[in-house]
Structure 1
């Protein structure tokens, strides 16, 4: 069965960049969960309005469906999704026994600096505090590897791939050279 890696964390933690790096190393399909948001969510975030659980429900279902599709097609993939709350992660797990999460863990100030430096993203820096307030750390969830992001990007990607391989030692993920 195909494996699906969900790269999670608050906005600005590097999910898209790290997720693409992991996908490249593993030769897996890359899906940016931001591309699966309904138009109404994008418009809300662009206006600086935090999303509610009701707003997130159709988005999480789309990501759940993408993970399911990967498994059914026996493909490996990396999907980027904030997955801030345990119930969001549980929604993604529903009907998908092929998931593993990578939690990109960083301090507020480091991530605030990153958010302030990036441009062209619909998620506004003013919403970062609400992301940290919503975050339910996945410390006791067995299908989550936690990667600190206070190191160079290549080291973050290397650490994630190393820990994924360790977690999935019996899986068929192979490195593409």
Structure 2
């Protein structure tokens, strides 16, 4: 009977210690994956909309976990990725120029967010993105380790140039090697 009681006490200890061993073999990285996209808006793309001219643009960029030196040794050992949020910064917008609408989409995922009325006064954006879209983005990163994003939209001025820096805040869990 004593042996049986001893075994009953050991079973939970063994079950919980397996989880602790697994946790000890996991390293968490809070990191970012950044993408920079140059956008050129040509002056001859104007389309009359309600007596105002809109100038269209569409440009793509690429980002990869291979570019993150923190993760180089662990890329073959990724257990999970969480995309916590995005920060989108616009550079080079001249005073008086406005991005009427801009949509960020990721190949293999779809539209991530649409922003409106971006000027030099509100050039840093922290958009609210649904958790399901962030999960789709994270799953895409786990499977591909890279993303191709496209920004498209309209401005009220053309020709013009501006840059966009998209910073994806990531929590990457890897198996310790």
**What TM-score, normalized by structure 1, do the two folds share?**
0.26
TM-score by length of 2: 0.26
Asked which structure has the greater CA Rg, the reply is 2
